[in-house]
Structure 1
Amino acid sequence: MTLPSSPFISRILGCGSYLPERLVTNQELAETVDTSDEWIVERSGIRQRHMAAEGENTSDLATAAARKAMAHAGVTADDLDLIIVATTTPDSTFPATATKVQAALGVSRGAAFDVQAVCSGFVYALATADNFLRAGQHKTALVIGAETFTRILDWEDRGTCVLFGDGAGAVILSAEPKASGSPSVSESYQQRGILSSHLHADGRGHDLLYVDGGPSSTGTVGKVRMQGREVFRHAVTNLAGVVKEALDANGLQASDLDWIVPHQANKRILDGTARKLKIAPEKVVVTVERHANTSAASVPLALDEAVRDGRIQPGHLVLMEAMGGGLTWGACLVRW
């Protein structure tokens, strides 16, 4: 949850994204994987994905998205004092990918660290940055979701390898004093910013979605393993629950939302969650058919697209939500 007693509110000043140049269609995958375009589209809604080039690391994608977000927000490296990178695919076991981004951007002050909550990572990172800013510990934060997820896929497992892609998205947050005055005076301005965040985890779901490797357990990177049916069931239930939690915390109804920006895991999950919440499909930002599941990058990638094409406007109520391995899930409600 956020800090309701804080004199500050976190405002999103700008956003940016980056997709690797290489585009891989379902037809191209079918040349090497036992699958077809029809099979993939029917089960996931995915038609293509981007893949990082050889030598292109997660920090490269993250830095590119960060530069675009900084330009959009009108901030420089001298303004940043907090960098959080959400990623499941860091450049190295250590140091944090965020420190590489920090150096690449020319930032030499403040804090930089990674957050690992898989597909929920960006929501977790956004909530973390929000609380730092509300507490007055930092002024301007760069929050990034970045993945080279295709590097940890088993290309002989058609149930998982066709679902994922690479990319990065970023936002700039600023701690600003809360507006004063009566609610009747410029109410939308007073409310603009991150209204609340809601994070959950249940480690009993570990075996539903995980990587079968790690420095401590096997000394290897490992590959993604997933029980798709069970993940689908948990996703629709947990995501609908956390969206309702966010709405209830702010005294709102689903009909009050202008946009939902969900984790782009699977079109069927997006549709199922919207139906459960009775939210009109046209209010859901969907990019999964072009980006596939980019894990921690999917929410900021979709957010940036909806901001850039003009769908999301100042004053709109925007709810971001995601679920990932762990199991982890969460939501963040923003008045843009």
Structure 2
Amino acid sequence: MDTPRIRILSVGTALPGPPVDNAALARTFGMDALWEQWVDAFIGTRQRHLAVDIATGEIGDSLSGLGTAAGRRALDTAGVRPEEVDLVVMATATPEQLMPATVNVICDRLGINDVPTFQLQSGCSGAVQALDVAHQLLQTGRHRTALVIGADVLARFYDCDAKLAQLPPEQLVNYVLFGDGAGAAVLTNEPGAGRCELASVRTRLTGLDRVAGATLEWFGPVDRLSDRPAATEDYKAIERYVPEMAEETLHELLDDLDWRADEVTYLLPPQLSGVMTRRIVERLDLPQAREVSCVDETGNNANALVFFQLERVLERIAPGERALGVAIESSKWIKSGFALEGV
């Protein structure tokens, strides 16, 4: 029996609140205009959306709420009813609770029941890992329609009373890199459905003997008063390793598919920040490919980010056109990528 081809029917996304620009961050955290200029020059992300009101510290949106909104939009766009979904996979680095799994809360709100559900805990590569799991399970033919979700709420790790001028770089950078959001895609193995085939998905752990480049703690009652920071980011290590890992992933995808570089119509690059994205795009050296980026408007919202890129490319891709996406996770160094083809 031939292996089914997997199609993407739709993508839906959700962002919390109004955009928060660098000037608003500077005002809230007592930074000056020179700091704003530093963010523009070295980070390059103009704004982000946050689930927390940084002026008051009040939580405005939840992970499950954003995931539900994105999932509902994806289902509505695809014309798929909740009872037609027979597989749900979610990726997040910031689960709402340890139990119940956030994916199951979202399913309950969407009216999805009596199906296999999976929640993967991972950083930026988690979205591709979730696509990989759904892709492989749909190829077995045991399932027909999958809802794949990527979502994160990183702002709940903010200390809204922090004095940024006093923070070390590995903590300071988190306040400008990240945002919150959710994305979802409907995948199917139904022949002839949709405009876009998910031609390949690839994820690889490459962290053997490498120090973690990013950490995100989960504090419980025993250790919540620890002096360990809630989140750290080794930006220097990321600047060093992510571009080369992205290049390796790109060429591995091309080799797997036997595609030539000049056949790629769209490039969905890693989206840590605006500046890093531009550096990576230059290194990947696909001048004929149109870049699909959004980090300057959304911030790096981790597992949601790939879906914001997918949403943009799905609107554009024509029959015969090809797209490559790359996502790199620095927490324990995971390479991931995927390929799309218009049908």
TM bucket normalised to smaller: 0.7 to 0.9
* Residue in structure 2 matching 1:168, options 182, 187, 194: 182
CA contact (8 A) 2:269 2:281 kept: no
Q: CA deviation at 1:274?
A: 2.1
SS of structure 2 residue aligned to 1:90:
coil
Task: Determine if contact 1:119/1:296 at 8 Å carries over to the other structure.
Answer: yes
Distance 1:20 1:68, change over 3 A: same
Any conservation in 1 of the 2:196–2:317 contact (CA below 8 Å)?
Answer: no
Percent identical among aligned pairs is 30
Residue deviations 1:97-137, cap 9 Å, x none? 11011100101121112112201110110011000000123
Shift of residue 277, structure 1, vs aligned partner: 2.3
- The reply to whether residue 129 of structure 1 matches residue 120 of structure 2 is no
Structure 2 length normalisation: TM-score? 0.86
Per-residue deviation, 1:211: 1.7
Find the counterpart in structure 2 of residue 266 from structure 1: 273
Tell me the number of residue pairs that the alignment of Structure 1 and Structure 2 aligns: 320
Write out per-residue CA displacement over residues 32-65 of structure 1, whole angstroms, 9 at most, x where no aligned residue: 3336322112112101100115252111101101
The alignment partner of 1:171 has SS state of strand
Is 1:115 matched up with 2:120? yes
Question: Does the 8 Å contact 1:19/1:168 carry over to 2?
Answer: yes
Aligned to 1:330: 336
Provide structure 2 residue ranges, at least 5 long, that are not aligned to the other structure: 53-58, 165-170
Contact 1:6/1:134 (8 A) holds in 2: no
Q: Indicate the RMSD between aligned Cα atoms, in angstroms.
A: 2.5
Q: Any conservation in 2 of the 1:262–1:299 contact (CA below 8 Å)?
A: no
- CA–CA distance in structure 2, aligned partners of residues 314 and 85 of structure 1: 29
**Structure 1, unaligned stretches of length 5 or more?**
180-188
| In structure 1, distance between residues paired with 2:66 and 2:123 | 17
Deviations 1:133-191 (A, max 9, x none): 001231110111111111124554322211100011111000135x8xxxxxxxxx9x9
Q: Do 2:68 and 2:110's aligned partners in 1 also have CA atoms closer than 8 Å?
A: yes
Shift of 1:90: 1.0
Alignment of 1:160-309 (within 5 A): 160-177=174-191, 193-203=197-207, 204-213=209-218, 218=223, 223-280=230-287, 283-307=290-314
TM-score, reference length from structure 1? 0.88
Indicate yes or no: 2:22 matched with 1:17: no
The one-letter amino acid paired with 2:37 is E
Contact kept in structure 2, 1:263 and 1:295, CA below 8 Å:
no
Which residue of 2 is the match for residue 50 of structure 1? 49
Q: Classify the secondary structure of the residue corresponding to 2:6.
A: strand
CA contact (8 A) 1:37 1:47 kept: no
CA displacement at 1:81 relative to structure 2: 0.8
| Distance across 1 between alignment mates of 2:229 and 2:107 | 28
* Contact 2:264–2:289 under 8 Å retained in 1: no
